[in-house]
């Protein structure tokens, strides 16, 4: 048993989809969340900048006594975790490995799609890991740079003409590749599930990166006998780098319930 | 005569529309440009964060011996210049004052529209200045939060279904207000001129913030006898806070010609 909190971080709000799943699979597990809302989005930035920001985000989280960190951001997982995870003493669960393992379990025809931010797709991290774990699988990827701004501005519903036109532009080439599994390689994308399914068709299984991370984190803790006991109180403390006021209303959309008033501001550039 | 450079800064790329106009009206004037590409966009951030970032941007520019600064960003001009301009010894020309003066000259019916980022519109800066300078004018404003990401992802052409649908959602309410002048309160928006005109109709005059800034800066320098002499070489040195490689190709779209290889990287959080 280990009642210490898990740290979860993201460039902004998307990682809250992982928090929601962590709360579902481990309801007594306390969580510390950091969202870098003062510098979001990371997905169009260079690898060097993403690594620098990731280091600072992790340094802040490590001011708490944590048992595990979840990098709930596709862009950081794909561009920085291979470098930064070695600098940290506790395990870090990332989006890439969690969702690749799930996709390999799910696929029947060995044809896997990956969508993510520009930096994520450019990194080639998904292709490398899939070909290491399932050498016969074929991978088809597409960058979807406008999905994060669309979601953060509340435009993710099926029937929204603009969202559907942009999704169609990004996903049509993938839909023609006969893939049976699509990794949503960014924790914002689960909110676009209906729109994405609309283009890909009902036979393509979508892998939700936040959910895959949560399941992966829980099984790692179970294996190491580090789950919380039943009397632990759970809950999530939120930290952000911009004004907490702007954060709470959109965060509630991601979490699916209202975010408590426990939101504090951090000067992340000082870490 | 004063051959010192002008400093121009923006949260990212939009301010280059002002550089283009400055080069047109003062071809021998040297320019130092800073774009905060490592933290762009500012338009959805809190006022406190925008003020902090603006101070750092200006502190970096002041490492050069400048005669004038152009804040070529609607979001910073509307949220931070009233505070930060008093802390600096040289004049700062901003987007708000430059475009408000132009709009008041242009309007025939005294009905002026303003579009900008969420932070710009929320600040109320345009309304305050218009009502101070033209008390009889009526102002109608609309936030257009997705315009910056659309432009930065190359989607600004008339005929793009997604861009036209989003523009129509944002602008239709303004188009019904019988305005005859519309301030493009963000230096990214001139690239959307055709799309915006398509919704507003041909009778609405569009005020380009970058152009208004350039004209304002030139007339201030002329008044103070601080223009460059004819033998000055002009040109622009570019500084950014993320990878210069990513910057140059998109910057060329804004500048309308290729950006020289004089692009250097700055750690802006250290200023």
Domain with CATH 3.40.50.1860 in chain B: 6-95+211-270, 96-209
Q: Is residue A255 very low, low, confident or very high in pLDDT (cuts 50, 70, 90)?
A: confident
H-assigned helices in chain A? 16-25, 47-61, 74-79, 81-84, 95-106, 118-123, 125-133, 147-152, 161-175, 193-200, 209-223, 244-255
Share of chain B above pLDDT 70, in %: 99
B192 in reach of chain A (CB within 8 A): no
pLDDT value of position A252: 81
Question: A198-208 pLDDT, tens per residue?
Answer: 999 999 999 99
Tell me which chain A residues have a C-beta less than 8 angstroms from the C-beta of B245.
Answer: 46
Using the predicted structure, report yes or no on whether residue B261 has a pLDDT greater than 70: no
- The reply to whether residue A243 touches residue B45, judged by beta carbons under 8 angstroms, is yes
Chain B residues with CB under 8 Å of A145 CB are: 149, 153
3-state helix/strand/coil string of A79-122: HCHHHHHHHCCCCEEEHHHHHHHHHHHHCCCCEEEEEECHHHHH
Measured between alpha carbons, how far is A253 from A110 in angstroms, rounded to an integer? 34
Rounded Cα distance between A70 and A89, Å, is 14
CB-CB neighbors (< 8 A) of A54 in chain B? none
CB contact at 8 A, B100 and B92: no
Report the SS3 class of residue A6: strand
The region of weakest confidence among A224-228, B151-155, B190-194 is B151-155
Q: Are B20 and B40 in contact (CB under 8 A)?
A: no
Look up residue B223 and give its two tokens: 């008044």
Q: Is A121 on the interface with B (CB under 8 A)?
A: no
SS3 sequence of chain B: CCCCCEEEEECCCCCHHHHHHHHHHCCCCCEEEEECCCCCCCCCCCHHHHHHHHHHHHHHHCCCCCCEEEECCHHHHHHCHHHHHHHCCCCEEEHHHHHHHHHHHHCCCCEEEEEECHHHHHHCHHHHHHHHHCCCCEEEEEECCCHHHHHHCCCCCCCCHHHHHHHHHHHHHHHCCCCCEEEECCCCHHHHHHHHHHHHCCCCEEEEHHHHHHHHHHHHHHHCCCCCCCCCCCCEEEEECCCHHHHHHHHHHHHCCCCCCCEEECCHHHC
Which one of B11, B43, B48, B149 would you mutate to disrupt binding with A, by most A Cβ within 10 Å of its Cβ? B149
The whole-number average pLDDT for the span B61-75 is: 97
CB-CB under 8 Å, A155 with B44: no
Contact state of B150 with A150 under an 8 Å Cβ cutoff: no
Ranges in chain A annotated CATH 3.40.50.1860: 6-94+211-270, 96-209
Chain segment B31-63, per-residue pLDDT in tens = 999 999 999 999 999 999 999 999 999 999 999
Task: Tell me how crowded residue B246 is: count the other CB atoms within 10 A of its CB.
Answer: 18
Mean pLDDT of chain A: 95
pLDDT classification of A260: cutoffs 50, 70, 90: low
* Four-way CATH pick for B6-95+211-270: 3.40.50.1860, 2.30.110.10, 3.30.2270.10, 3.40.50.980: 3.40.50.1860
User: Is B133's Cβ below 8 Å from some Cβ in A?
Assistant: no
Express each pLDDT in A52-83 by its tens digit.
Answer: 999 999 999 999 999 999 999 999 999 999 99
Assess contact for A234 and A22: CB atoms under 8 A: no
Q: Is B217 on the interface with A (CB under 8 A)?
A: no
CATH architecture of the domain covering A6-94+211-270? 3-Layer(aba) Sandwich (3.40)
Half-sphere exposure for A186 (CA within 13 Å, toward CB): 31
Q: What is the DSSP letter of A155?
A: -
User: A113-128, pLDDT tens digit by residue?
Assistant: 999 999 999 999 999 9
Residue A259 pLDDT exceeds 70? yes
- Looking at residue A251, its pLDDT comes to 82
What percent of chain B is predicted at pLDDT more than 90?
A: 88
Tell me: pLDDT of B218 over 70.
yes
Question: Within an 8 Å CB–CB cutoff, is residue A48 touching chain B?
Answer: yes
**Shortest distance, CA B46 to any CA of chain A (angstroms):** 6
Decide if A168 touches B, using CB distance below 8 A: no
SS3 A56: helix
> Distance (Å, rounded) from C-alpha A17 to C-alpha A255?
6
CA distance A169 to A199: 10
B49 close contact with A: CB closer than 8 A: yes
Percent pLDDT > 70 in chain A is: 99
pTM greater than 0.80: yes
Antiparallel, parallel or unpaired: β A31-35 and A92-94: unpaired
Q: Could you tell me the strand order of the sheet in which B92-94 lies?
A: B92-94, B68-71, B6-10, B31-35, B236-240, B263-265
List B residues 51-110 in contact with A (Cβ-Cβ < 8 A). none
In this predicted structure, the answer to whether residue B253 has a pLDDT above a threshold of 90 is: no
- Contact B44/A162, CB-based, under 8 Å? no
**Catalytic residue IDs of A:** 73, 186
Fold classified for B96-209: Rossmann fold (3.40.50)
Query: What's the pLDDT at B260?
Result: 64
B157-185 average pLDDT score: 97
The structure tokens listed for A51 are: 């690594």
Residues of B in contact with A157 (CB under 8 A): none
* Chain B, nearest residue to A147 by Cα: B149
Can you read off the two tokens belonging to residue B232?
């000055």
pLDDT interval class at B252 (50, 70, 90): confident
Mean pLDDT to the nearest integer, B65-74: 97
- Nearest CA to B29 out of B72, B86, B78, B67 is that of B67
Of B149, B162, B246, the CB nearest to A165: B162
Average of pLDDT values for A100-111?
A: 98
Nearest by CB to A162, from B39, B152, B162: name it.
B162
Q: For chain B, what is the mean pLDDT? A: 95
Two tokens, residue A49: 């900048």
- Confidence label for B121 from pLDDT (cuts 50, 70 and 90): very high
Q: What is the pLDDT of residue B68?
A: 98
Range A218-234 average pLDDT: 94
CA distances from A142 to A116, A145, A167, A180 (A): 7, 10, 11, 15
B152 or A170, which is more confident?
A: A170
Q: What local confidence, expressed as pLDDT, does residue B203 receive? A: 95
Tokens standing for residue B238: 């570019």
Residues of chain A with C-beta less than 8 angstroms from the C-beta of B152: 44
């Amino acid at each position: 048993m280990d009642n210490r909190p898990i740290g979860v971080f993201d460039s902004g709000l998307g990682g809250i989809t992982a928090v929601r799943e962590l709360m579902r699979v481990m309801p007594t597990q306390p969580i510390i969340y950091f969202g870098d809302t003062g510098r979001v989005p990371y997905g169009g930035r260079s690898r060097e900048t993403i690594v620098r920001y990731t280091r600072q985000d992790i340094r802040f989280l490590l001011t708490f006594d944590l048992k595990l960190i979840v990098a709930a951001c596709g862009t950081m997982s794909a561009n920085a975790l291979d470098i930064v995870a070695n600098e940290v003493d506790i395990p870090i669960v990332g989006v890439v490995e969690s969702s690749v393992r799930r996709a390999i379990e799910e696929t029947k025809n060995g044809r896997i799609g990956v969508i993510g931010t520009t930096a994520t797709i450019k990194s080639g991290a998904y292709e490398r890991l899939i070909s290491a774990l399932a050498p016969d699988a074929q991978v088809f990827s597409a960058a979807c740079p406008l999905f994060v701004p669309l979601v953060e501005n509340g435009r993710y519903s099926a029937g929204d003409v603009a969202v559907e036109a942009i999704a169609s532009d990004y996903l049509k080439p993938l839909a023609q590749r006969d893939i049976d599994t699509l990794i949503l390689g960014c924790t914002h994308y689960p909110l676009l599930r209906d729109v994405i399914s609309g283009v890909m068709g009902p036979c393509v299984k979508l892998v939700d990166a936040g959910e895959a991370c949560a399941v992966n984190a829980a099984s790692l803790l179970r294996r190491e006998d580090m789950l919380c006991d039943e009397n632990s109180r759970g809950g999530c403390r939120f930290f952000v780098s911009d004004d907490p006021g702007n954060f709470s209303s959109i965060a509630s959309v991601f979490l699916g319930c209202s975010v408590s008033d426990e939101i504090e501001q951090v000067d992340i550039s000082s870490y």
